[in-house]
Amino acid sequence: MAFFRDGVVNLGLILLVLMLASTALLGRWFCGWGCHVLLLQDGCSKLLHRFGIQTKPFRSRSLSHVPFLLGFLMFFWPPVYRWGVSPLSVKLNQHYQWIPAFAGNETWPGVTYEFTTSEFWRSFPSFWVAVPFLLICSLFAVWFLGSKGFCFYACPYGGVMAPLDQFAPGRIVVDDSKCERCGVCTSVCTSHVFVHKEVHDFGSVVDMNCMKCGDCIEACPTEALKFGFTVPPFFKKNAKPARESAFRISRSGEYALLVVWAIFFFGFHGLYNIFPLLMAGGIAAIGTWLVHLTAKTFQPKTVKFSKLHLRKNSGVTSLGWSARILSLALIAFAGHSLWVRFESRSIQDMASQVDLDKRLVFSSTPLIATGEMALVCNECIARHQKIQPIAEGGLAFASSPPTWLARAWCHTALGEWSQAIPFVEKHLDYFGFRDDVAGDLGLLRQLAAPQEAEVWYLDQLSVHPQSVRLLEDFTRWLERQGKASTMIVFCREHRDRVAPGGPIDLFLMRRLSLATAQTGELDESVVWFERTLNIEPNNPAAWLRLAEVHLQRGALDSVVASARKARALVSDDPRLLTQVMRMLDAGGAIEEAAALRQQL
């Protein structure tokens, strides 16, 4: 995912490629032998069995295709969006304005390699997400959807591996002369594969749900089964999985289930930045099962789940009514979630329409949105207020973190800097430090409360000493405030916090060389200039600034020497050449300056 979205090559990507390549040869062996979620599901199956709860597979033809959709969304949608949907929608929008332009994600960031990370725990969900996630994807999925319920109705990895399995020659094959059609293999298969039928019809298991776990091989009393290589199902005629005959839901029922699933999935996925794709998939599958079960209570038939009645001949039981209320509540919640998700998306799109130049918006005479743009900002803020948590005057159950910067930008564009600050702060708290966002927060603080800006920058830079953006903005701000002495003290102290000779140290030394020249500490200025030029000697502008400092000191030989260094680095920049000429003149190298003047 990180690769398709951000171009990051990490160990996860390498593992995925190896996994897919080996699946094309050996089938879904990874599912059977390498997946921790399957281990959890198998553990839950055994646990439920121990408590006397028999699980029954929920069989839906339409929902069995859901993993393919999830696999597409997870792996293929980001590149399709980046290189297909986004540029196409922008082009279409230029001709037909009613078509929305989905911009913002179309630039490929290039490939980067990340084989180590200092933020290992950041990729893990919080405790409050992890626990429900594990319950939904293992215990509840198995209990309500049957063994491996999560695999068959919610796993995007399975959705990518299953089609590849159809090309794999590695399969469970039968020695037909030994098979007695006893069906033991089918009874032990927790993937609900009709093993005895498939090996009889095709000589091997053709079902893409076979995870090559080997349970059937172990259980076969005549040792008729083994793992071997044969013609893949894709190249066999009519090699359809035998379990397909077990789907009982009518065609219209299947369509209805798909609609319900979509409401649940798109309502929950990414909601409040809490529900990851896998969890939303699990909730959607279980929610759809519940709605299906509840719908059956409206028919005049006995309806049971496990050994519990939801409807008897005498009517709907209290459990049946509870299921109805729960289904209704879930659908209402999912509908509300869809609205929140839609509003979140719209708010971000609206904020991206506020196309003001950031440099002007954050300048000392800030540009403020007017007319149409101000209207967009105000509408964006009003709509955002509606999806704030109830406790903060909104109609949502929690905040939507991805919208915070959009709201902050609209406040900023309207000149409401103090109102923008809390949203940027919340973003940084929630998503972690980011140089550009922290930089914008600093600029907002400069505008909203200039008297407190210095303390804020010092505080931030003590925690994030490597932040280039904060350093640049802070030193520039001190310069504008005429606080050169404060800047010198800060830069000297800050050098102790960064790697000597590194890019940030170089930046600080440059600042020191200029600031000390400004305050008249000329000898110190020369020292800083020389140090920076030792690291970065091919900088003609720096040589010229050094020449100016030497001139102020009256060291004319050094003026000429520095100007010559600059001259050697400049070939055709008339502005720099004019400065070189001026310095040569001032240093007494009149003839050299005249020659250069002629050349110019």
Chain contacts with ligand SF4 (rule: CB under 6 A)? 31, 35, 37-38, 150-151, 155, 157-158, 172, 174, 179-185, 189, 191, 193, 195-196, 199, 205, 210-216, 220, 222, 224-225
513 and 536 in contact (C-beta within 8 Å)? Answer: no
Give least dist CB 193 to ligand SF4, A.
Answer: 4
- By CB neighbour count within 10 A (0-12 exposed, 13-18 middle, 19+ buried), where does 31 fall? buried
Give least dist CB 277 to ligand SF4, A.
Answer: 12
Instruction: Identify which of residues 199 and 444 has a Cβ nearer to ligand SF4 in the complex.
Output: 199
Distance CA(427)–CA(153), nearest Å, equals 34
Instruction: Identify which of residues 196 and 445 has a Cβ nearer to ligand SF4 in the complex.
Output: 196
Instruction: Identify which of residues 242 and 581 has a Cβ nearer to ligand SF4 in the complex.
Output: 242
477 and 453 in contact (C-beta within 8 Å)? Answer: yes
Give least dist CB 139 to ligand SF4, A.
Answer: 14
Main-chain phi, psi angles of 465, to 5 degrees:
-65, -20
The CA radius of gyration of the chain, in Å to the nearest whole number, is 34
Instruction: Identify which of residues 185 and 504 has a Cβ nearer to ligand SF4 in the complex.
Output: 185
Handedness of CA 93, 98, 99, 102 (dihedral sign): positive
Contacts of 555 (CB under 8 A, 6+ apart): none
Side-chain half-sphere of 325: how many Cα atoms within 13 Å? Answer: 7
Instruction: Identify which of residues 157 and 490 has a Cβ nearer to ligand SF4 in the complex.
Output: 157
Report how far apart, in Å, the C-alpha atoms of 58 and of each of 9, 228, 339, 556 are.
38, 31, 30, 91
Contacts of 65 (CB under 8 A, 6+ apart): none
Closest CA to 284 of 346, 334, 211: 334
Give least dist CB 24 to ligand SF4, A.
Answer: 15
Instruction: Identify which of residues 163 and 415 has a Cβ nearer to ligand SF4 in the complex.
Output: 163
Report how far apart, in Å, the C-alpha atoms of 253 and of each of 222, 288, 291 are.
42, 11, 11
Give least dist CB 89 to ligand SF4, A.
Answer: 32
Instruction: Identify which of residues 68 and 456 has a Cβ nearer to ligand SF4 in the complex.
Output: 68
Instruction: Identify which of residues 27 and 267 has a Cβ nearer to ligand SF4 in the complex.
Output: 27
Give least dist CB 136 to ligand SF4, A.
Answer: 12
303 and 171 in contact (C-beta within 8 Å)? Answer: no
Distance CA(282)–CA(39), nearest Å, equals 16
Give least dist CB 56 to ligand SF4, A.
Answer: 17
Distance CA(431)–CA(427), nearest Å, equals 6
Which two three-digit tokens encode residue 74?
């997870």
Give least dist CB 369 to ligand SF4, A.
Answer: 48
Phi-psi bin for 550: left (phi > 0), alpha (psi -120 to 50), beta?
Answer: alpha
Task: Give residue number: closest CB to ligand SF4.
Answer: 158
Instruction: Identify which of residues 65 and 564 has a Cβ nearer to ligand SF4 in the complex.
Output: 65
Give least dist CB 50 to ligand SF4, A.
Answer: 21
SS3 content of the chain, % helix, strand, coil (to 5): 70, 5, 30
Instruction: Identify which of residues 218 and 459 has a Cβ nearer to ligand SF4 in the complex.
Output: 218
Q: What stretches of 155-276 show up as alpha helix (H) in DSSP?
A: 156-165, 184-188, 195-202, 215-219, 251-268
Instruction: Identify which of residues 6 and 215 has a Cβ nearer to ligand SF4 in the complex.
Output: 215
The secondary structure element, H or E, covering residue 320 is helix 318-353
Give least dist CB 161 to ligand SF4, A.
Answer: 6
Distance CA(242)–CA(198), nearest Å, equals 6
Instruction: Identify which of residues 42 and 425 has a Cβ nearer to ligand SF4 in the complex.
Output: 42
Residue linked to tokens 């159950």: 397
